[in-house]
Structure 1
Amino acid sequence: MIDPATLPALHASHGGIWLCEDGRTQALAKGQAIARAAETPVLLLNAPLTGQRLGYPELNGLDLLELWAFLHPARFLVPTPKGLADALDLPAPTNEGDIPALLQRAAAMLLDRLGSPEWPEREGGWTAAQSLHRMRWPWSPLVAPRIPRPREAERWLFSKLPEWEEAQPRPAPRTVSLAEDQVLAQLDALTGAGAEPRPGQRAYAAAARIAFTPRKHRDQPNMLLAEAGTGIGKTLGYLAPASLWAAEAQGTVWVSTYTKALQRQLDRETLRLFPDPAMAARRVVVRKGRENYLCLLNLEDALQGGFAGRAAILAQLVARWAAFTKDGDMVGGDLPGWLPTLFRRNGSTALTDRRGECIYAGCPHYRKCFIERSARASADADIVIANHALVMINAARGRETGQRPQRIVFDEGHHLFDAADSTFSVALSGQEAIELRRWIMGPEGGSRGRRRGLAARLSDMASYDEEGGQAIRAAVDAAQALPADDWLKRVVAGEPFGPLEALLAAVRGTVYTRAEAAGEADAGYGLETELAEPDGALVEAAQEAALALDALIKPLVRLARRLEAVIEDAPDWLDGAARARIEGAVASLGWRRDLIAAWLALLARIGGPADADYVDWMTVDRVEGREYDIGIHRHWLDPTRPLAETVLKPAQGVLLTSATLKGGGEWSNAEARSGAIHLPHGAERFEAASPFDYPGRAEVLIVTDIKKGDIAAMSGAYARLIEAAGGGTLGLFTAIRRLRGVHARIADRLARGGLPLYAQHVDPMDTGTLVDIFRDDPRASLLGTDALRDGVDVPGHSLRLVVMEGVPWSKPTVLHAARRLAGGGSAYDDRLIRARLAQAFGRLIRRAQDRGSFVILSAAMPSRLLSAFPPGTPIRRLTLDEAIIAVSVQAREQPLGLEAALGHQGSESGPPQQERE
């Protein structure tokens, strides 16, 4: 049996490369390290990241993260040497040269656990190890011999998973009214005895009752807009009346967020309601879109030969996780976010239902399906934690009509406009159209996988009902007009096939013609133009495409009607499973029918009159000059109109809340972006300022001597500021190109000073993992874009400096220009920018003990936008040298050791993410 202590261990960073072998650690050059790694398997931590640091992206070896995923699936780990040391109770390395020896000790400890009877995730381990050995997993020679063969054969994953059970529909909630003293007593129970009094939180909880009182008006929910500053404790503030109403009314409250991070935090906070995990699992359910969950049918296909190479190894590790997961959520759940990135995301997306091809009750794993289990559990839950998009989709076209949200809390409510904008938009693009073709026709040519078309999914229907069979065949014939494989190559070559590809070719030609006239065709990024003044070729192509889509929608409508008739006729073969499958098919047909109808309405616009309610434009989507899609887009000019009609008006009560709901402006901004202006009686308002001492613990520094567009000067500023703060910096950019340029210039310099630097769009890790690493290491810094500006919760000394590259101006898109014109011109822009600044500043102070600096590298920061910051916050315009002095002074005010003394206290939203397990 191989002794892991004899294996060489390699660590690479921006600060250097080290190899530990035969008890000696030595520094290597990149070429030496690559050659050494190629000779024999070496121990690594995060092979893709190590390979990137070496300039050798295909580096493989004995990755300790893969071993951890095998040993402890569904158990959290910060994927860094420090995180590994903490998880194994080993001393954290004091310098990077000590890391290879740590990897050797960690490997020995993990491999020793394989033979221990105390290994909690032993079940299924032996069988998985044998399968991985056949796939030549690098760890197999060390793992397989160490796992004792079980006395009894291990059950296959699909026989172990529990089945969900049907339950009778829940009756309508009772009509109840909540007294203020009841709500405050519930709040006291949630915060616990001895909790620090929070007058703002108590006032907030009392005001939130509005959303849980009987509705007063038809087509009008009881709606409250509540801006509660950071530190108020709004999560428990609204959970108090929500949980009380759910218990007394026997109904469900939907709590909706915009980010997955807040969903996780809410899931933890609800343990205060139900300390017993088993009870919590029944009373609180996290819901996400279908594409987030593991599809068991896809996994079975992968395990039985559908995947090859590294993707097959990933499937085995995901199967290990599936046996221990809480809910099967692969995106933001308990599957380590870093696991798919170890495999270059090879195969991970194929394990979820991203194409809408679920066959519902026709699936052999239907009774064990994670998605169906979640949907059914939510029907009887007190609290359903979802996201804005899912709430809107469920209200607009959800299958579960009896479960459509009636009492809703929209947390992160400042994002509701953007979520509605995405949900209610339409895109007729090559990628969207080819997915529709595949859904109808199934596999074509040499394509592999389990994809099945309409004819295969509804074969029994076709044999039972001749008219239904004819409709299926007609739909398949009509789908031939949709783009097929390699459509983009044909369009680019000027050889489109069929009316839809001809339309995309005409769109591409128009976009490029107008871009060339404007001198933008060679810029490398995506191109767009208004859908105005189309030429004759585009109008003719749109008409032909509309005829093809009309020929497709008719048989789909006929088929849906025949399926509904079959359900009514209830033939002998229509058992419960067949009924569920046909009901699922009816819902899927309805979704595609609505999509095609929206496409037809969009095509009618070409050559016809414009519709003032919409903004229409054409695009050629490109990444670094490479085209990947072509399309026509339609967005509502005001997406809160469909939001109000489909989500708000049917609801009984709605609470819309955020720390920055007004976006640093007036209530009219919140009312316009929430849909409240479209309600007959508007909405109530509540406001509570943050209790934090911003004047004493924060400052805004506007650097005036960095020239706009000077990447070298900006990079130097970032490096010096991070060094002054000793790390703990969140750097925010509005362009990926500039982010990458700054990172490339400063990463090595900072690493030599012991200050790790990570970056979105550079490091091969998902955003959640990057934030986990940043949170865990007070000397680390993180660069990112909009995703890090909103919703990142890093309390304590790990975040003590926020640096923005400049004013976050809006991109000059067709959609933005139309909304700017309708919303008051520059005043509209100012409202958006204030909101972005307020959100970015909100990352800095997450609890009362925090302090730090907020730096903007722009001399052109307009004074009119400074109202985005909390009143009283010191704001200074100064040079870079002066800013560096100020940052260093501010950073010294909170010593590095204070975090440990505080015991990792949580922010207002809950404890740090690494404590979630």
Structure 2
Amino acid sequence: MENKLFTEDTIEYMRDQIDAARGQEVFFQGVYDGKQEVLTSIKAVSRGNESMAPAIISNLKPGDVVIHNHPSADLRPSPADIRIASKLGNKGIGFIIINNGVTDSYIVVSPDSIDELELLDKEEIIKYFKPGGQLANSLENYQEREEQIEVLKEIIETFNNNGKLMVEAGTGTGKSFAYLIPALIWSHQNNVPVIISTNTINLQQQLINKDLVFLKEIMPFDFKATLVKGRSNYICYRKLKNILKRNDNNSELKNVAQYIDDQTNKENFDGSKSDLTLKIDNNLWSEFASESDMCLNSACPYLKKCYFQRARKSIYQSDILVVNHHLLLADGILKNKAYSVLPDYQELIIDEAHNLSEVATKISGQDFYPPALNNLINRIMNSTHSPLIRIRKNEYNIHPNDRQQIIDIIDQELFPNLNKIEELNRQYNFELGSFMKKESSRKLRLKENTLKNNDNIEDWKDYGDRLISLLKKTAYKFENLFDLVESNFDIKSTAEENPLIEINAYLSRLNEMADALEVNLNYMDHLDEYVFWIEKSFNRGSNNYIQRNARLEVNEFLNEVIFDKVATNIMTSATLAVNESFDYFKKKLGLNKTGELIVESPFDYKNQIGIYLPEDIPSVYDDDFLNTISDDLIEYIDKKAGRTLILFTSYKMLNQFKEIYRGPLKALNINILAQGDLPRHVILRRLKNKKRQILLGTSSFWEGIDVPGESLAGLVIMKLPFEVPTDPIVAARNDKIRESGGNPFWEESLPAAIIKFKQGFGRLIRSKKDKGEIILLDRRILDKSYGSRFIKSLPKNCKLNKNWPDFKS
């Protein structure tokens, strides 16, 4: 055997193991010794066939090698071998195939071709956090936190071992610095990017505009950090200039274009929608937005001015990339395609990780939304930059011989078909609405027998099938148009851009719409893996209906899209554990072998916070609940001079509260700031003014808001945040748990509610100086057997008082 990677001892060991397995496949794990250039410590780790391989992958680290035999003696790698070898090679792991007698080998990924990583020096990094270190010397009133050091040590070990880690770090632990400093040093030493994904804009802005700006001043090397935005957030300069050049009657479009053009002349303008002060409707924004399938790439006359390409260049030059969960997952789906935004990466930190499963659920389905199809048709037929409109206006340099034939395809085939699609789409939307007439909820879950006896089902199916057929037929007509234009368009002799890109994009989008509709129309074929529903929405003065679907489980999806592609994965949040266990989230995310760490908040909750649950209140389901508690709650709010956040689980209850309490609170000169009345950032800015006002929030206000100091001194939780059991996704997952013999309340509903409850609790105390009260007004905590689980989920040393706060002393 020519391969010198194996020693005589390792060859004999592998032969014995293969013989013991009766000549079947055996997977071995070895360690490469770069100095001696041999494999050492080889051991058999699994037996069987290719499907056994994933079981050992999670234990491997750079420098390891996977070896397995082919009983056939044909050492050519199979497609499965190539997939696994590629995945391992990207993580710095070798892959070798041997025959049963270990007399021949085929090296798929050579271990000596893998660059050796420079590991983190734990003691040197810890010095940053010690008295006299860089943090202490640069931050006023800095105090060393044992909890932060504990998190830091685990993160360093995880980087060095290319491991997986889940960390629940209580509020105030300082987990951001605990992962940022090791990430920066790892990136600097090994010249690789580190991705940091968050769920909320608030945390992204804190990392980019505060934490990383500060670290630039104290780190002994320079680095670049970039906030990554999706492509559609950027202006397409070509679209902008084309709108400004044309003569049309759309004054709103022209005015917005002129406004944006003025911004492009400003020195620090980054070309993104968020950099504009003017609020632009989403439909109008699509006229300006950069789109991957509409991009001319190197053929664009404005390539040097392209804001997205500038951003992408910055992304590929960055050491730290801050993204949101949605972009992270979307990019993972598109990886290895031209549309991918992020560079290849092996190190991933997911903050606010408790949201990842929910985001994965939202992104995993294929929606069909009739208004979106109408918008596409309107864009094709009426937009000033539609190539069909411009061809008809003779704005392209098309050879005159076939110009009339091209016009005939547009006028006699495409436009009539698009008008028919619009009509069929309207009728299809109407049929969706007919299913919702008797529904009190905005959502109707589609199960096997949901529509069985509905009189409209045949019309719905008929319109749907006809619409799918016409969409595909029209896409085919666009292919014909593409071929004709391509053979008659002389791009070299014109300054105008190539219309073929946009024609191709239209036919692709029509096919995508047809595919999405087909999946949703034939939902019964996919009920084993997906949940389907119809959802009512209000758009431009009329009711519209969306057909949605989502995966029942996202664990395999997450492993395929991100977890299997990275070497190091650190997941952290203030709320990942339920009853001091990560089992709930590990199951949802499909993570089995991962390091675990729970550290308490360093805050002195015993002295900083009082928790109250009055015994004399009625059930939250009592019809007169809000009126019954009004005297005590209004007195509390008055004593606090407002400065209170009240969390609800529904807009219905929030609006009832406003109706009942607005008058009495106004008499006390206390203003109500309510979610839904104003934009979120405006509400939070006004709350920080320290005037006599309270904030009413639901859904997203349970997390991601940070109001330290005197502006917020009280938190009222009206109701335990259980998910709505009739929500299609919740109901479908509960059904699946029941079918497998489980209990959906204890396995899903309760853990999810506890996580959200912990998030709500964390809104009040944001620093060591904060003080206040938390009032719980759902007596199920006292009356139900599961109530104690919520109290146990709170930080230690929190005492529950069974009365209202007493301000008399």
- Same fold by TM-score, threshold 0.5 exceeded? yes
* CA–CA distance in structure 1, aligned partners of residues 401 and 578 of structure 2: 57
1:281-313 alpha-carbon deviations (Å, 9 max, x no partner): x81111123444456567665899977589959
Q: Is the 8 A contact 1:526 1:623 kept in 2?
A: no
Query: Offset of 1:407 from its aligned partner?
Result: 2.2
> Which SS does the other structure have where 1:224 is aligned?
strand
Partner of 2:351: 411
Q: Is the 8 A contact 2:384 2:390 kept in 1?
A: no
Matched, 1:231 2:177: no
Matches within 5 A, 1:831-842: 831-842=751-762
Q: Is the 8 A contact 2:580 2:598 kept in 1?
A: no
* CA–CA distance in structure 2, aligned partners of residues 179 and 407 of structure 1: 17
1:747-788 alpha-carbon deviations (Å, 9 max, x no partner): 4544554544322222xx310121122124264322122221
Matches within 5 A, 1:244-393: 244-267=185-208, 268-275=210-217, 283-293=224-234, 301=243, 312=255, 316=259, 319=262, 323=266, 325=268, 327-331=270-274, 340=279, 353=289, 359=295, 361=297, 366-393=303-330
Cα separation, partners in 2 of 1:322 and 1:384, compared to 1, 3 Å: farther
Query: Offset of 1:420 from its aligned partner?
Result: 0.8
Query: Offset of 1:269 from its aligned partner?
Result: 0.8
Q: Which amino acid letter does the alignment assign opposite residue 327 of structure 1?
A: D
Q: Is the 8 A contact 2:168 2:597 kept in 1?
A: yes
Cα separation, partners in 2 of 1:182 and 1:376, compared to 1, 3 Å: same
Matches within 5 A, 1:849-888: 849-861=769-781, 862=784, 863=787, 864-878=789-803, 883-885=804-806
Query: Offset of 1:655 from its aligned partner?
Result: 1.4
Query: Offset of 1:684 from its aligned partner?
Result: 2.0
Q: Is the 8 A contact 2:195 2:322 kept in 1?
A: yes
Query: Offset of 1:846 from its aligned partner?
Result: 0.9
Q: Is the 8 A contact 2:409 2:481 kept in 1?
A: no
Query: Offset of 1:843 from its aligned partner?
Result: 0.6
> Which SS does the other structure have where 1:327 is aligned?
coil
Partner of 1:600: 518
> Which SS does the other structure have where 2:716 is aligned?
strand
* CA–CA distance in structure 2, aligned partners of residues 720 and 751 of structure 1: 13
Q: Is the 8 A contact 2:610 2:773 kept in 1?
A: yes
Q: Which amino acid letter does the alignment assign opposite residue 156 of structure 2?
A: R
* CA–CA distance in structure 2, aligned partners of residues 204 and 760 of structure 1: 35
Residue 680 of structure 2, aligned match among 759, 767, 774: 767
* CA–CA distance in structure 2, aligned partners of residues 759 and 693 of structure 1: 31
1:1-39 alpha-carbon deviations (Å, 9 max, x no partner): xxxxxxxxxxxxxxxxxxxxxxxxxxxxxxxxxxxxxxx
Query: Offset of 1:237 from its aligned partner?
Result: 0.7
Q: Is the 8 A contact 1:475 1:552 kept in 2?
A: no
Matches within 5 A, 1:399-798: 399-400=339-340, 403-438=343-378, 441-443=380-382, 450-452=384-386, 476=414, 480=418, 484=422, 497-498=423-424, 500-513=425-438, 515=439, 520=440, 526-533=442-449, 534-535=451-452, 537-538=456-457, 541-542=460-461, 545-546=464-465, 548-549=467-468, 552-553=471-472, 573=492, 593-594=511-512, 596-605=514-523, 608-621=524-537, 627-663=542-578, 666-677=581-592, 682-703=593-614, 704-706=616-618, 708-710=622-624, 711-713=626-628, 716-747=631-662, 749-751=664-666, 753-762=668-677, 765-777=678-690, 779-798=692-711
> Which SS does the other structure have where 1:873 is aligned?
coil
* CA–CA distance in structure 2, aligned partners of residues 464 and 213 of structure 1: 66
Per the normalisation by structure 2, the TM-score is 0.70
Query: Offset of 1:254 from its aligned partner?
Result: 1.5
Query: Offset of 1:839 from its aligned partner?
Result: 0.3
Partner of 1:802: 715
Partner of 2:744: 825
Q: Is the 8 A contact 2:369 2:547 kept in 1?
A: yes
* CA–CA distance in structure 2, aligned partners of residues 779 and 465 of structure 1: 75
Matches within 5 A, 1:76-91: none
> Which SS does the other structure have where 1:403 is aligned?
coil
Query: Offset of 1:434 from its aligned partner?
Result: 2.1
Query: Offset of 1:856 from its aligned partner?
Result: 2.1
Aligned residues: 658
Cα separation, partners in 2 of 1:745 and 1:512, compared to 1, 3 Å: closer
* CA–CA distance in structure 1, aligned partners of residues 191 and 494 of structure 2: 32
1:865-910 alpha-carbon deviations (Å, 9 max, x no partner): 32332222111333xxxx1426x87xxxxxxxxxxxxxxxxxxxxx
Matched, 1:212 2:181: no
> Which SS does the other structure have where 2:216 is aligned?
coil
1:172-202 alpha-carbon deviations (Å, 9 max, x no partner): 9974432323443466666242731122212
* CA–CA distance in structure 1, aligned partners of residues 663 and 244 of structure 2: 41
1:618-672 alpha-carbon deviations (Å, 9 max, x no partner): 2333599x75311322111113332221122122322111010125562111212
Q: Which amino acid letter does the alignment assign opposite residue 522 of structure 2?
A: A
Identity of aligned residues (%): 19
* CA–CA distance in structure 1, aligned partners of residues 793 and 400 of structure 2: 65
> Which SS does the other structure have where 2:806 is aligned?
helix
Matched, 1:181 2:123: yes
Q: Which amino acid letter does the alignment assign opposite residue 637 of structure 2?
A: I
Q: Is the 8 A contact 2:432 2:460 kept in 1?
A: no
* CA–CA distance in structure 2, aligned partners of residues 238 and 230 of structure 1: 15
Cα separation, partners in 2 of 1:877 and 1:428, compared to 1, 3 Å: same
Query: Offset of 1:360 from its aligned partner?
Result: 5.0
> Which SS does the other structure have where 1:274 is aligned?
helix
* CA–CA distance in structure 2, aligned partners of residues 657 and 475 of structure 1: 55
Cα separation, partners in 2 of 1:646 and 1:476, compared to 1, 3 Å: farther
Q: Is the 8 A contact 2:381 2:388 kept in 1?
A: yes
* CA–CA distance in structure 2, aligned partners of residues 209 and 583 of structure 1: 47
Q: Is the 8 A contact 1:730 1:802 kept in 2?
A: yes
Higher relative contact order (CA 8 A, sep 6+): 1
* CA–CA distance in structure 2, aligned partners of residues 563 and 829 of structure 1: 52
Query: Offset of 1:210 from its aligned partner?
Result: 5.0
Query: Offset of 1:394 from its aligned partner?
Result: 1.2
Partner of 1:133: none
* CA–CA distance in structure 1, aligned partners of residues 377 and 118 of structure 2: 49
* CA–CA distance in structure 2, aligned partners of residues 537 and 839 of structure 1: 44
Q: Is the 8 A contact 1:478 1:548 kept in 2?
A: no
Q: Is the 8 A contact 2:645 2:696 kept in 1?
A: yes
* CA–CA distance in structure 2, aligned partners of residues 354 and 709 of structure 1: 51
* CA–CA distance in structure 2, aligned partners of residues 657 and 322 of structure 1: 41
* CA–CA distance in structure 1, aligned partners of residues 294 and 583 of structure 2: 43
Q: Which amino acid letter does the alignment assign opposite residue 702 of structure 2?
A: R
> Which SS does the other structure have where 1:201 is aligned?
helix
Query: Offset of 1:404 from its aligned partner?
Result: 4.5
> Which SS does the other structure have where 1:426 is aligned?
coil
> Which SS does the other structure have where 1:649 is aligned?
helix
Cα separation, partners in 2 of 1:390 and 1:456, compared to 1, 3 Å: farther
Q: Is the 8 A contact 2:576 2:585 kept in 1?
A: yes
Structure 2 gaps, min length 5: 1-113, 738-742
1:511-563 alpha-carbon deviations (Å, 9 max, x no partner): 325x3xxxx3xxxx624242432347525643653454355457759989999
Q: Which amino acid letter does the alignment assign opposite residue 433 of structure 2?
A: R
Matched, 1:397 2:315: no
Residue 145 of structure 2, aligned match among 194, 198, 209: 198
